[in-house]
């Protein structure tokens, strides 16, 4: 009889409605979110030889290779409308790096956190949010490098164009982050069951960069290959990347309608991702 009056601190109920997001609950767990973010930041410093210097070395190395191989050997520098290749690639690498690392971190939510998820309850959706925040660190450092080179180029007298749309920059990054979370959540839900999807996702991301104007400007494609141009225009990352390039480098395209398409894709991906995520979080512990 006593059992009926038993008192629980909290009751965990499955999210039955596929789309329900318990915002209040997430808000209550905000300290946990910060703890995870802080932990990840600290991990970036501890047990490392060069510490956060790695965040500097990799983009610089990437830029050197990109400028030599894509800009030089493949001759893409000639199509950049006067933008210095170093700036073009630095910005591209930073933006793409942020997007792709958010996708892969989100898609690993279940698999890499299986240990914690198996032991304690907290809204699982926190993990993708943590990933998106943590990756901002590397992104910020790369933006600083970009700013450094930018100032250098301005100082030596290279004409640079900045458009007012630069104030939309945080908004652009938010779209990218949300799109990454949506896309990543879809995969995170599927990878618990099928492991080859992880390999497949890595492949998709590594090929995705080629249909995004990162290693070459979109205008270069517009001149000839129409099928590829269509494919690139349909890629929801393209409008955002182009808009960022337009506002910071003066090279690219800014089109509200096209951006609207990106936002629409983001919403669809997020809704779909949340549905799968909610469905899987109930039972994934048995299959992972």
Partner 1 sequence: MAKFESTYWTTEISPTTFAKGLGLKELWQKKYLIWLFIKRDITVQYKQTIFGMGWYFISPLFTMFMYVVVFGKIAGIETDEVPQPVFYLSGICIWEYFSTCLTDVAGTFQTNASLFGKVYFPRLVSPVSKVVSKLFRFSLQLFTFIFVYVLFVIRGADLQPTWYLLLFPVVLLTLQCLALGLGLIISSLTTKYRDLTNFFGVFVSLWMYATPIVYPLSYVENPTLHQIMLYNPMTSLIETFKVGAYGAGEFSWMWLGYSIGVTILLLLLGIHMFNRKQKFFIDTI
Binding stretches for partner 1 (CB under 8 A): 43-44, 47-51, 54, 57-58, 61-62, 65-66, 68-70, 72-76, 193-197, 199-200, 203, 206-207, 210-211, 215-216, 220-221, 224-225, 228
The rounded Cα 170 to chain-centroid distance in angstroms is 13
- Least Cβ distance, residue 108 to partner 1 (angstroms): 13
Q: Which is closer to partner 1, CB of 20 or CB of 225?
A: 225
Q: Which is closer to partner 1, CB of 65 or CB of 151?
A: 65
Phi, psi of 6 (to 5 degrees): -55, 145
What is the DSSP code (8-state) at residue 252? S
Instruction: DSSP for 118-157, please give it.
Output: HH----TTHHHHHHHHHHHHHHHHHHHHHHHHHHHHHHTT
- C-alpha pair distances (Å), 112 with each of 83, 127, 203, 271: 40, 10, 19, 23
Rounded CA gap, 156 and 153, in Å? 5
- Least Cβ distance, residue 219 to partner 1 (angstroms): 11
Rounded CA gap, 124 and 64, in Å? 39
- Least Cβ distance, residue 215 to partner 1 (angstroms): 8
Q: Which is closer to partner 1, CB of 158 or CB of 287?
A: 287
- Least Cβ distance, residue 232 to partner 1 (angstroms): 10
- Least Cβ distance, residue 236 to partner 1 (angstroms): 18
Q: Which is closer to partner 1, CB of 5 or CB of 223?
A: 223
Radius of gyration of the chain (CA): 21
- Least Cβ distance, residue 265 to partner 1 (angstroms): 21
What is the DSSP code (8-state) at residue 166? G
Q: Which is closer to partner 1, CB of 57 or CB of 268?
A: 57
- C-alpha pair distances (Å), 27 with each of 11, 40, 91, 118, 274: 17, 20, 34, 22, 17
Q: Which is closer to partner 1, CB of 14 or CB of 51?
A: 51
Q: Which is closer to partner 1, CB of 89 or CB of 277?
A: 89
Contact between 107 and 201 (Cβ < 8 Å): yes
The rounded Cα 224 to chain-centroid distance in angstroms is 30
Q: Which is closer to partner 1, CB of 129 or CB of 215?
A: 215
- Least Cβ distance, residue 220 to partner 1 (angstroms): 6
- Least Cβ distance, residue 49 to partner 1 (angstroms): 5
């Amino acid at each position: 009889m006593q059992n009926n009056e038993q008192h629980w601190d909290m009751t965990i109920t499955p999210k039955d409605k596929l789309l329900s997001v318990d915002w209040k609950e997430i808000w209550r767990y905000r300290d946990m979110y910060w703890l995870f973010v802080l932990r990840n930041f600290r991990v970036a410093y501890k047990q490392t030889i060069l510490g956060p210097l790695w965040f500097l070395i990799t983009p610089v190395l990437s830029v050197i290779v990109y400028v030599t191989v894509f800009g030089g050997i493949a001759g893409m520098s000639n199509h950049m409308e006067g933008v210095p290749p170093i700036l073009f690639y630095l910005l591209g690498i930073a933006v793409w790096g942020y997007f792709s690392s958010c996708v892969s971190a989100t898609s690993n939510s279940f698999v890499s956190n299986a240990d914690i998820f198996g032991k304690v309850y907290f809204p699982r959706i926190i993990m993708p949010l943590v990933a998106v925040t943590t990756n901002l660190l590397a992104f910020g450092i790369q933006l600083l490098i970009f700013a450094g080179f930018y100032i250098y180029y301005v100082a030596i007298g290279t004409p640079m164009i900045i458009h007012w749309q630069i104030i939309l920059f945080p908004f652009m990054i938010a779209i990218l982050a949300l799109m990454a979370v949506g896309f990543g959540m879809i995969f995170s839900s599927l990878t618990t069951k099928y492991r080859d999807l992880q390999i497949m996702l890595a492949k998709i991301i590594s090929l995705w960069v080629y249909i995004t104007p990162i290693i070459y400007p979109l205008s270069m494609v517009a001149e000839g290959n129409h099928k590829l141009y269509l494919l690139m225009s349909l890629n929801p990352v393209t409008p955002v990347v182009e808009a960022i390039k337009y506002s910071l480098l003066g090279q690219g395209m800014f089109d509200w309608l096209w951006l609207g398409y990106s936002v629409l894709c983001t919403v669809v991906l997020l809704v779909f991702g949340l549905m799968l995520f909610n469905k899987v979080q109930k039972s994934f512990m048995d299959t992972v």
